[in-house]
Amino acid sequence: MLKRTLLAAALIGFTGVAIADGHGEKPHANPWSNFSLDNTLQSMPAGDATRGQSLHSQMMCNSCHGENGESPSRNYASINGQPAEYTVKMMLDYRDGRRWEDYKQANIMVKLAQALDDQQIADLAAFYAQGSTQAWGYTKPLDQDMHNKVDHLVRKGDFGRMITPCASCHGAKGEGNEIAPALAGQVPEYFVRTMQAYKDGARHNDVNEGMSQFTHDLTDAEIEALAEYYASLNKQ
């Protein structure tokens, strides 16, 4: 039995399609269109940051993501300083089965999101949107060559590889914009993991591959350097 569950988990890792957690099928929502996403975001209730702050500890979000959403661990994403729209979208994506790139990592988020209603999701998102993102404390400084290369990718993109400047969506300082998340101060291990998941197709909750298309031609070294680059930025 245990073996079969492990096998199912391994298959999910490879295909990202067959989704079962040993307790039945997980809901599998249709991919977003710009239209359906806009409509859904507009129909969400207004969030209340004070209620969001209480929920953050009641639901034990703080045990992994830190007191204010700034992750103390290399294993978890920092979620503070995110535009509310992005957090709402992620929670809906976990809840409805659109985001499930890594069984081991995402499982807990799916379970928690399924326990939340729209109002609670809006409240949590309002709380995180209030916080700032600070540089991650343990960055490895990039050598000058790599820094320049990555800085060019961020500000100018790469026409030859059809990579649009990261800054055009994620902001000049990595502060994010609506559904494009803040990247400043993000935990580099999480950044690399999620970029690789976009690249190999395991993370496909982005609308019309609006993010993953830029990852296909990035090398591992570039992804790692981008992670360090953004981790070292303060949003404010």
CA distance 152 to 166: 10
Q: Is residue 102 close enough to count as binding ligand HEC by CB under 6 A?
A: yes
Q: How far is the CB of 143 from ligand HEC (least distance, A)?
A: 19
Q: Is residue 63 close enough to count as binding ligand HEC by CB under 6 A?
A: yes
Nearer to ligand HEC, 1 or 69 (CB): 69
Q: Is residue 168 close enough to count as binding ligand HEC by CB under 6 A?
A: yes
Q: Is residue 166 close enough to count as binding ligand HEC by CB under 6 A?
A: yes
Among 68, 80, 194, 232, indicate the residue that binds ligand HEC (CB under 6 A).
Answer: 194
Nearer to ligand HEC, 3 or 32 (CB): 32
SS (H, E, C) the chain: CHHHHHHHHHHHHHHCCCCECCCCECCCCCCCCHHHHHHHHHCCCCCCHHHHHHHHHHCCHHHHHCCCCCCCCCCCCCCCCCCHHHHHHHHHHHHHCCCCCCHHHHHHHHHHHHCCCHHHHHHHHHHHHHCCCCCCCCCCCCCHHHHHHHHHHHHHCEHHHCECCHHHHHCCCCCCECCECCCCCCCHHHHHHHHHHHHCCCCCCCHHHCCHHHCCCCCHHHHHHHHHHHHCCCCC
What are the tokens at 89? 């979208």
What is the Cα gyration radius of the chain?
18
Nearer to ligand HEC, 79 or 126 (CB): 79
What are the tokens at 39? 């409509």
CA distance 31 to 208: 8
Q: Is residue 89 close enough to count as binding ligand HEC by CB under 6 A?
A: yes
Q: Is residue 64 close enough to count as binding ligand HEC by CB under 6 A?
A: yes
Among 7, 10, 29, 108, indicate the residue that binds ligand HEC (CB under 6 A).
Answer: 108
Nearer to ligand HEC, 122 or 179 (CB): 179
Q: Count of residues binding ligand HEC (CB under 6 A)? A: 41
Q: Is residue 109 close enough to count as binding ligand HEC by CB under 6 A?
A: yes
Among 142, 179, 187, 231, indicate the residue that binds ligand HEC (CB under 6 A).
Answer: 179
Q: How far is the CB of 3 from ligand HEC (least distance, A)?
A: 25
Q: Please give the residue ranges that form the binding site for ligand HEC (CB under 6 A).
A: 59-61, 63-65, 76-77, 79, 87, 89-91, 101-102, 105-106, 108-109, 112, 124, 153, 163-164, 166, 168-170, 179-181, 183, 191, 194-195, 205-206, 210-211, 214, 226
